[in-house]
């Protein structure tokens, strides 16, 4: 199941893709990582999906990544006596802690922490931005606002706060229960929703204790403002353009996507571009030309992965959506300008042994036209630093740890393989060359370059480069 592309594909599972046959079909079509959305999945459903994904993994003997996406704080207004209220631009409208059913003048806001953070002049967006309020004054648990846009507001519509920093954190009681249920399962990544600051990531890290990689979803203006600190504490980020486009002007989102992609690459952290990539394929067998261009933009920018949401979770054509995304990515990476664009975005290596080694490996591999860069990695760091270089040759992430191999399924250009612990340099060369041959990267007599750390078995000590030849029978190297 070697992919003919370097960007990875995340596919969300849901009602249209919740059986093992469909999961296998999505994997065959090109899905590298499967997303389980805890906004809709119960704990039992999550466990069943993990079991089915792992059965597909065992059948094909290929590491598959699993991402559990936490719901995060879902802020909503209360209900109205008539089910909805007609608002007029310019009128005052009150949000308060009174649980009485609302009317055209006021409504209950059940999230009391909001009142502590609101200030005059802050904007409040309701119903995905269809209704916009401006805060006039806040007294205790009562906020007086002025309607700036919108007309009708109905029960339980969502609340977005583009100007307000909530101090309550990104993890809700539901998220904590979901994390507790996920911890015993064979999961690789957890996505944190509505992250605003680095402290939100630190809070989750205390609970996770290294069991999963943490992927921070960037979907609020506050996260964009604090992005460098968030990236530093995260293991990966996701450009969640749906909510980001609600809380920020739509015209700013493409530039933010480009900035986040480059910042994450500079840090050597995987970045996923998500939301509405092939939205029309929920109900249509082919995408629009604009959607194809959107996916292509993410690929040309050097994103590690692109994601399907409802297209694969609840759409009528889940397999076709994955297959389409796969074809678009393959075509972009074969384009004449692709190597030039990727090279132009390359940043200087940091002053670490891992960066020096992997940057040198990339340069040697491209200069000598080697078959592959093979990274012997226990934690995944060496392979991620090699991925940061965006080399023109394939990267093989060779790890003795299955969990590391699965986690690398989201990283650009990394073909991850579970291998035995190596005993010495000769054993390392033999295993690396055999894997490169067996996985279809190198022919007998071909050459690869191996990046590793000695002494073996210790994480975080990348300090070795070795050029090796594949033996005539392909079973060893020298």
Choice among 33-42, 262-271, 351-360, 430-439 with the minimum mean pLDDT: 351-360
DSSP 424: S
Compute the distance between CA of residue 322 and CA of residue 289 in angstroms, rounded to an integer.
Answer: 16
Dihedral sign computed on CA atoms, order 231, 236, 240, 241: positive
The per-residue DSSP string of 272-335 comes to: EEESSTTGGGGT-SS--HHHHHHHHHHHHTT-SEEEESHHHHT-S-HHHHHHHHHHHHHHHHHS
Q: What is the pLDDT of residue 78?
A: 97
Q: What is the pLDDT of residue 67?
A: 98
Q: What is the pLDDT of residues 99-128, one digit of tens each?
A: 999 999 999 999 999 999 999 999 999 999
Q: pTM value?
A: 0.94
The stretch 338-342 carries a mean pLDDT of 96
Topology (CATH) of 8-73+169-337: TIM Barrel (3.20.20)
Q: Which CATH number fits domain 84-160: 1.10.275.10, 2.40.33.10, 2.30.40.10, 3.40.630.30?
A: 2.40.33.10
Give the pair of three-digit tokens for residue 473: 């029978």
Choice among 267-276, 313-322, 342-351 with the minimum mean pLDDT: 342-351
Q: What is the pLDDT of residue 459?
A: 72
Strands of the sheet with 447-453, listed across from one edge = 414-418, 395-399, 373-376, 447-453, 462-469
Q: Hey, is 465 helix, strand or coil?
A: strand
Q: What is the 3-state secondary structure (H, E, C) of 330-365?
A: HHHHHCCCHHHHHHHCCCCCCCCHHHHHHHHHHHHH
Just list the catalytic residues.
35, 76, 217, 275
Q: How many helices (H) and strands (E) does the chain have?
A: 17, 21
Q: Which CATH number fits domain 353-469: 3.50.50.60, 3.30.70.270, 3.40.50.800, 3.40.1380.20?
A: 3.40.1380.20
The stretch 63-74 carries a mean pLDDT of 96
Domain chopping of the chain, boundaries:
8-73+169-337, 84-160, 353-469
Exposure string for 46-63, b = 16+ CB within 10 A, e = fewer: bbbbbebbeebbeeeebb
Mean pLDDT across the chain, nearest whole number? 96
The stretch 142-165 carries a mean pLDDT of 95
Q: Residue 350 — very low, low, confident or very high, per pLDDT cuts 50/70/90?
A: confident
Q: Which of 382, 403, 401, 478 is CA-nearest to residue 433?
A: 478
What is the β-pairing status of strands 131-139 and 142-149?
A: antiparallel
116, 143 Cβ separation under 8 angstroms: no
Compute the distance between CA of residue 200 and CA of residue 195 in angstroms, rounded to an integer.
Answer: 6
Give the pair of three-digit tokens for residue 194: 């509505």
Q: Residue 313 — very low, low, confident or very high, per pLDDT cuts 50/70/90?
A: very high
Q: What is the pLDDT of residues 428-443, one digit of tens each?
A: 999 999 999 999 999 9
Q: What is the pLDDT of residue 375?
A: 97
The stretch 392-406 carries a mean pLDDT of 97
More confident call, 370 vs 166? 370
The per-residue DSSP string of 99-154 comes to: -S-B-SSEEE---THHHHH--TT-EEEETTTTEEEEEEEEETTEEEEEEEE-SEEE
Give the pair of three-digit tokens for residue 294: 């959107």
pLDDT of 170 over the 90 cut = no
Dihedral sign computed on CA atoms, order 144, 149, 152, 156: negative
């Amino acid at each position: 199941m070697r992919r003919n592309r370097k960007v990875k594909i995340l596919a969300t599972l849901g009602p249209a893709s919740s059986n093992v046959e469909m999961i296998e079909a999505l994997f065959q079509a090109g899905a590298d990582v499967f997303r389980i959305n805890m906004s809709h999945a119960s704990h039992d459903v999550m466990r069943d999906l993990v079991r089915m994904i792992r059965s597909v993994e065992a059948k094909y003997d290929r590491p598959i990544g699993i991402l559990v996406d936490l719901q995060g704080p879902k802020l909503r207004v209360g209900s109205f006596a008539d089910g909805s209220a007609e608002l007029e631009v310019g009128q005052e409208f009150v949000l308060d802690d009174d649980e009485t059913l609302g009317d055209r003048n006021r409504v209950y806001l059940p999230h009391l922490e909001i009142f502590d953070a609101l200030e005059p002049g802050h904007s409040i967006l309701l119903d995905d931005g269809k209704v916009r309020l401006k805060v006039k004054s806040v007294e205790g648990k009562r906020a007086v606002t002025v309607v700036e846009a919108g007309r009708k507001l109905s029960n339980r519509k969502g609340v977005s706060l583009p100007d307000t920093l909530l101090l309550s954190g990104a993890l809700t009681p539901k998220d904590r229960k979901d994390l507790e249920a996920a911890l015993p399962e064979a999961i690789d990544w957890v996505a944190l929703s509505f992250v605003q600051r680095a402290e939100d990531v630190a809070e989750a890290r205390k609970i996770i204790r290294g069991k999963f990689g943490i992927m921070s979803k960037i979907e609020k203006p506050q996260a964009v403002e604090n992005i460098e600190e968030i990236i530093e504490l995260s293991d990966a980020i996701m450009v969640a353009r749906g909510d980001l486009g609600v809380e920020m002007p739509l015209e700013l989102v493409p530039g933010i996507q480009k900035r986040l992609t480059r910042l994450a690459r500079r840090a050597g952290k995987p970045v996923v571009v998500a939301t509405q990539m092939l939205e029309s394929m929920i109900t249509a067998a082919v995408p629009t030309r604009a959607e194809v261009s959107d996916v292509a933009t993410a690929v040309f920018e050097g994103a590690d992965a692109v994601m399907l949401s409802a297209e694969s979770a609840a759409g009528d054509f889940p397999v076709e959506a994955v297959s389409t995304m796969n074809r678009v990515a393959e075509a972009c990476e074969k384009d004449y300008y692709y190597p030039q664009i990727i090279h132009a975005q390359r940043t200087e290596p940091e002053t670490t042994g891992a960066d020096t080694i992997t940057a040198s490996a990339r340069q040697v591999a491209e200069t000598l036209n080697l078959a592959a860069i093979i990274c012997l990695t226990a934690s995944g760091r060496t392979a991620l630093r090699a991925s940061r270089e965006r080399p023109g040759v394939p990267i093989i992430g060779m790890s003795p740890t299955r969990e590391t191999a699965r986690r690398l399924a989201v990283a650009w250009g990394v073909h991850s393989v579970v291998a035995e612990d190596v005993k010495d340099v000769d054993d390392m060369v033999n295993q690396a060359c055999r894997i490169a041959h067996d996985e279809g990267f190198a022919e007998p007599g071909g050459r690869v370059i191996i990046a590793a750390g000695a002494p073996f078995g210790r994480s975080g000590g990348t300090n070795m480069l070795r050029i090796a030849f594949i033996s005539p029978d392909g079973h060893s190297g020298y």
